[in-house]
Amino acid sequence: MHKIQDKIVLITGGAQGIGKLLGHKCLQEGAKALVIWDLNSELLHQTTEDFRAEGYTVHPYQVDVSQVHEIEAQAARVLNEVGRIDLLFNNAGIVVGKLFKEHQASDIDRTLQINVAGVMHVARVFLPAMLEAGAGHIINIASASSLTPNPKMSVYAASKWAVLGWSESLRLELEREGKDLHVTTVLPSYINTGMFTGVKAPLITPILDPEYISREIIRAVKNNQILLLAPWSVQLLPILRGILPTRVFDFVGGTLFGIYDTMANFIGRTQTSQSPEAEKPAQNGKARRKTPANPA
């Protein structure tokens, strides 16, 4: 079992939402220090003060994970000022909830920069120290949309499919090192953080409670679990897509279970923030930022 106690933890998008919950739980598990990466300076400061008030050691860094030069520069600072990262949570992510024909180039580019390239580059800069030490754990927050298509989530789904394929490939590479190196990929359905206000939960797939899924993620990390699919019904997706013809799955998943209509009335979070970890289009089609979460 991978222990969190006395380890240094880094969480991207860690100033709010699931990232903040995960950080707090790692500290409660006895983590030596928590490194928080987030673009929202106000929330970053508030979360840091909240955790420090409880007596925990927290190191905040304002980072835009869509920018490679920022990732590399801030990673160098972290390694020098805090030390080697033992547990890395790639939590930051954004969604644009609209039809593909309505996407602007910036919508596509920013989604891929944060959800795919950002995740890979963050892992890339901290992996060498893990390899040198022969120990480390990378936790990638993907999505249940890594397993199924969904209207109004085309680019988001593509980005999460990419994360799943990369994350599992990285796991195999690290396992061949024969050391204490682990990768956990998390594939949750919609989480009730406000990011996906307006979505309709599919049949037998309830919207997840943030406290519940954060506990499950910590449990998965402690057990070196390879994949975490939540809720349980998400485990049906790869089975059904594997055995059913595409048109039949479209009927079962899309019509009977209602997966393809979950985003029909998507609103998202309405208040603005400065974090890129959860960005949504305003009603006029221009981008508006909001608090991060981990959707389907």
Task: Catalytic residue, from 61, 156, 190, 260: name it.
Answer: 156
Q: Is the pLDDT of residue 292 over 90?
A: no
Q: Quote the tokens at residue 92.
A: 């930051």
Q: 53 is written with which tokens?
A: 């008030």
Q: What is the mean pLDDT of residues 9-25?
A: 97
Q: Could you write out the DSSP letters of every residue in 56-69?
A: --EEEEE--TT-HH
| Domains of the chain listed by start with CATH number | 8-289 (3.40.50.720)
79, with CB counted inside 10 A (0-12, 13-18, 19+), is middle
225: three-class secondary structure by DSSP: coil
Tokens 């979950």 belong to: 262
* Residue 278 pLDDT exceeds 60: no
pLDDT tens, 75-87? Answer: 999 999 999 999 9
If pLDDT is split at 50, 70 and 90, which confidence band does 207 have? confident
Q: Is 260 a catalytic residue?
A: no
The CA distance from 145 to 153, in Å, is: 8
Tens of pLDDT, residue by residue over 46-65, are 999 999 999 999 999 999 99
Mean pLDDT of all residues in the chain? 89
* Contact yes or no for 294/180 (Cβ under 8 A): no
Residue 223: name the closest of 5, 25, 9, 1 by CA. 1
Higher pLDDT, 4 or 296: 4
Rounded-to-integer distance, Cα 232 and Cα 204, Å: 9
Cis, bond preceding 238 (omega within 30 deg of 0) = no
pTM of the predicted model, to two decimals? 0.90
> Residue 180 pLDDT > 60, yes or no?
yes
